[in-house]
A and B are shown apart, each in its own frame.
Chain A
């Protein structure tokens, strides 16, 4: 079990985060750039000292600011950190990189088995400079696994790789981490990546954890309008039934053409603009003074009626309204 409850002073705000990750559990720390996600990982890894708090891993105290104070140095924590740059040692071969943290007499057969699992079997004698981006990331992952890390921290490791390779590597980390039954924390600023990897999503904004739950719950029932914006709700339309100032969130991917009152909120308006989005089209629908973006193949000028599926509604204070006052599904 990884248990961290820390506060770190940053220039713009104080980061205050409490999270618990069970063995074998995968938590995605999701939030915009500059929210403090990487700092959380660095505190757990022992690279940044917290102002207050504690970090426990499998019952071992790694950091404690209250008496008796403790700050286990990074080399004794057994916490693996994987960043966007694989950080392979360029003067060592792939085998030497893999076995770097495996102790003075590494088990060669084990290295070869892992290399085969990672698709690196023929590359053990190669130098990092001769590897592709995906191969280098596999070596970096294998190096952490051979070092017998008790927790794995992934800091947007596959950002910048092509989507297919990213999917393969994410699935690989998922299965390898599950086999080893260790807690894993992934930092992500793309929701799809976080959803593909994690069992649980923790949303971080300006140093605060604003929601923690399953990916589906966070996306369908964001705790606040701000969380809704972070997970991709692009439009908010007035929802008088929720009280004065209440709004319903519209996610472009949770909209059906036509009126289906039993499934959500029905909106009608004129299409103001449209553009290609992914494999389809996205249209901006004028609903009163607001423009609501949804996945529709309509051209500008057309009148359209859509149903927003089970939208979350927020009060004037931006907080999610209780289910009873939500639009009926």
Chain B
């Protein structure tokens, strides 16, 4: 321990030392303010919506005959889309994450291409792929299905718009699980399917949940491809579009609010759950 008396600071040094914390606190206040401005700007449209919609207008719009039908159609199509994504997208994502596919970059490029194509273009291309005059369309015709302007077409469009978000998110979730964990489970007596159920899926669950809810939000809001191949039956986005065109902004807003209420809580809940799960694992 030193008992030496510390020399008094030079006057110039003292003011410099006092200035530095002041500058630091000013800059932190400024960065906080900047972040708040960006956050409010991003959420601005949602905040504006709440200022322009009253409970009366929402109940009025939704109590009109048949007004809830688009919501039911969207929920049903979204639910089936999620089921399709889980059944087909999960194994694909796992194989991509574990490098079990030949030419892995090619598979990734395919999924990315699907993500990068504008939804309207996807809709146009789907007409060429599953339209009534195509071989696939004719095959579907044999089982009394049509991929244009039907509920089935709506599901097809939603799958195409949301699948890349799910597959790439699930791939990242599986890639984050150390393959040695699966190996250890196998050495302890689990066959691969059991190791996947007991180790891989629980460890990837937070990431999978996030991927699934992002895909849900995309499916609920799918519009571009839906507009081209599934104009009927109306889901919520098309209901908003047609109401806007036919009766104006005011009557479309309650449906926009309903879409937000349906599409957003799941991602927010999944985000909170996965953040909590990750936090528990890190201790």
Contact = CB atoms under 8 A, between A and B. Distances in A.
Interface of A: 45, 47, 73-81, 83, 85, 87, 89-91, 100-101, 127-130, 143-144, 147
Nearest to B192: A75
Given A87-B181, A91-B202, A91-B203, A127 B188 contact: no
A127 B277 CA distance: 12
A91 B281 contact: yes
B283 A129 contact: yes
Interface in B232-283: 277, 280-283
A89 B183 contact: no
A85 B180 contact: yes
Interface of B: 178, 180-181, 183-192, 195, 198-199, 202-203, 277, 280-283
Contacts of A47: 183
Contact of A75 (B181, B186, B203): B186
Given A75-B190, A129-B280, 7 more contacts: A45-B187, A81-B184, A85-B180, A87-B178, A87-B180, A90-B203, A143-B188
Residue in A80, A90, A144 with the greatest tally of chain B CB atoms within 10 Å: A90
14 contacts: A73-B186, A73-B191, A74-B183, A75-B187, A75-B192, A76-B189, A77-B187, A78-B189, A79-B187, A87-B184, A91-B202, A130-B283, A143-B188, A147-B189
Contacts of B203: 89-91
Contacts of A143: 188
For B184, B191, B198, which residue has the most chain A Cβ atoms within 10 angstroms?
A: B184
A100 B283 contact: no
A93 to B, nearest CB: 11
A127 B283 contact: yes
Contacts of A76: 189
A74 B283 contact: no
A182 to B, nearest CB: 15
Contacts of B195: 75
B98 to A, nearest CB: 15
Nearest to B282: A129
Nearest to A45: B187
A216 B281 CA distance: 45
A115 to B, nearest CB: 17
Contacts of A79: 187
A85 B181 CA distance: 10
A78 B187 CA distance: 7
Contacts of B280: 127, 129
A80 B186 CA distance: 10
B282 A101 contact: no
A127 B186 contact: no
Contacts of A73: 186, 191
Contacts of B178: 87
A73 B182 CA distance: 14
Contacts of B190: 75, 101
Contacts of A80: 187-188
B191 A100 contact: no
A91 B187 CA distance: 18
Contacts of A127: 280-281, 283
Contacts of B282: 129
Contacts of B202: 91
A72 B282 CA distance: 36
Nearest to B280: A127
A65 B181 CA distance: 28
Given A85-B180, A89-B181, A75 B283 contact: no
Contact of B187 (A81, A90, A130): A81
Given A91-B202, A91-B203, A129-B281, A74 B180 contact: no
Contacts of A85: 180
A240 B189 CA distance: 59
Contacts of A101: 188-190
Nearest to A79: B187
B29 to A, nearest CB: 35
A127 B189 CA distance: 22
A100 B195 CA distance: 11
A128 B186 CA distance: 19
Q: In the complex, which of the residues A79, A91, A101, A143 has the most CB atoms of chain B within 10 Å of its own CB atom?
A: A91
A303 B190 CA distance: 66
8 closest A-B pairs by CB: A129-B283, A101-B188, A90-B281, A87-B184, A74-B186, A75-B186, A130-B283, A101-B189
B186 A100 contact: no
A50 B19 CA distance: 69
A90 B189 CA distance: 18
A52 B148 CA distance: 59
Nearest to B195: A75
A185 B218 CA distance: 54
Contacts of A130: 283
A130 B283 CA distance: 6
Nearest to A129: B283
A147 B188 contact: yes
A179 B186 CA distance: 25
Contacts of A75: 186-192, 195
A79 B187 CA distance: 7
A85 B178 CA distance: 11
Nearest to B279: A129
A77 B190 CA distance: 11
A180 B184 CA distance: 21
